[in-house]
Chains A and B, each alone.
Chain A
């Protein structure tokens, strides 16, 4: 239902293209072109999307998974282009995303969230290749695992030998809701240039007991307090949605999935 709702909501926004994921697709953005694309994965399948961004092109891409799909995403960016990508995995899914920043002053922004309920397995792999100098990349991937579930984030930022003045930031934040939930996070940096600003951070934690106590003192039940805290943790990925008009629909989809966790 979430997939349908997002698909419908996207249809109501002018200039947003919709993709159903069953087939491989290849998209080219002409120099200076701007495109907004929503891809919905609501069946078990495997499909590749590759996008070539010409000079100064701008891509806004939202990918929603509501079924166990395998997705390969390849973005190749020429100079001065920018790609803003939002990825939401509501349950088992497998994403393998590679971003190639081939021309100077290209920008990549990836915001991701996976919610693994009991029995789910989420995989999120993101490789960002800084092949040219003066590019920026920023990624934030959050994960929540409940019940007996697993989640895995693998992130790699590669900086080529002549990609000077690279600015790369990679963040992975995760919450395990119980003793049987497992999240593995592997953020890596591979840097061959010397004039770069790169940072990466990864955390796996539990809910904050002090915050739960605080909310209960104001009258919320333990369950409500936990729920509010997880929602707060997850919501900012929706808030940063690459297509701002869809943020509310994503937030609702997240809230609905949290009911199952």
Chain B
């Protein structure tokens, strides 16, 4: 589904990704962990198409297409979803109006007819239940005045609405209390199918109790320095990153 080869990316003249290789197949869950500043969020942003970053080398193939050639919105419509670490507040723009345009843009891209008002409302109701999102929030402005937990639930709600092939969740667990974490993580798990894939970027093992990864990768200084299965996350929780970093630097 997603093949990343030797990906290098910079912001200004500072190189942040320094040769990433990653293969994600349908049905898989990958976790990307690593110390602060290792490039985790940058990797997510570069894959999503954030123009702040310049790709200086490497290739990314997504569903048989050259991802790096596509503008951000086409990547989204093709099925790439990025759950933002800091979801943006958009005053005056209602969730319903925003989602209606987004869903219909996705449909147009696939050559499908736009949803009718009643089909859309039905979809909203159905999907807001996945993350126990208060129906009132969907009539409010996008993220405006939402609590931290509501913002993250709202990310997963949008993911449910857009039904992506690949979801990259950038520290979706940060700033969540135990209940919100459970709801968000269970939501992600419910949305997982053999046809789609999920990449979760996280600092903490606790998210991975709910979203059990097939692979765990450790990012350090812009490279994946180690990969393993879910037991790696447990070991990192107990022992930290030093043993890997020392090994790598040594």
Contacts and interface: CB of A to CB of B under 8 A. Distances in A.
Interface stretch (A123-131, A163-171, A183-191, A215-223): A215-223
Interface stretch (B17-25, B72-80, B207-215): B72-80
Interface in A221-261: 221-222, 224, 228-229, 231-236
A20 interface: no
A192 interface: no
B73 A233 contact: no
Interface stretch (B2-10, B82-90, B111-119, B242-250): B82-90
B84 A214 contact: yes
B105 interface: yes
Given A218-B158, A219-B106, A228 B98 contact: yes
Nearest to B86: A210
B68 to A, nearest CB: 16
A211 B98 CA distance: 12
A24 interface: no
B50 interface: yes
A19 interface: no
Interface in B99-117: 99, 101-102, 105-106, 109
B93 interface: yes
B234 interface: no
A193 interface: no
B102 A219 contact: yes
B92 A236 contact: yes
A213 interface: yes
Nearest to B74: A219
A220 B105 contact: yes
B162 A211 contact: no
B141 A232 contact: yes
B139 interface: no
B216 interface: no
Contact of A228 (B48, B82, B101): B101
Interface residues of B, number: 29
B77 A219 contact: yes
A259 B55 CA distance: 35
A217 B106 contact: no
A214 B76 CA distance: 11
B231 interface: no
B91 interface: yes
A88 B98 CA distance: 25
A232 B93 contact: yes
A224 B72 contact: no
B54 to A, nearest CB: 16
A208 interface: yes
A231 B97 CA distance: 11
Contacts of B82: 217
Given A216-B72, A219-B77, A219-B105, A210 B88 contact: yes
A220 B73 contact: yes
Contacts of A218: 76, 98-99, 102, 158, 162
A255 B98 CA distance: 15
A217 B72 contact: yes
Given A218-B162, A219-B102, A232-B141, A213 B90 contact: no
Interface in B178-234: none
Given A208-B88, A216-B76, A217-B82, 10 more contacts: A211-B89, A218-B98, A218-B162, A219-B76, A219-B109, A220-B105, A224-B101, A224-B105, A232-B90, A232-B141
Interface of A: 208, 210-211, 213-222, 224, 228-229, 231-236
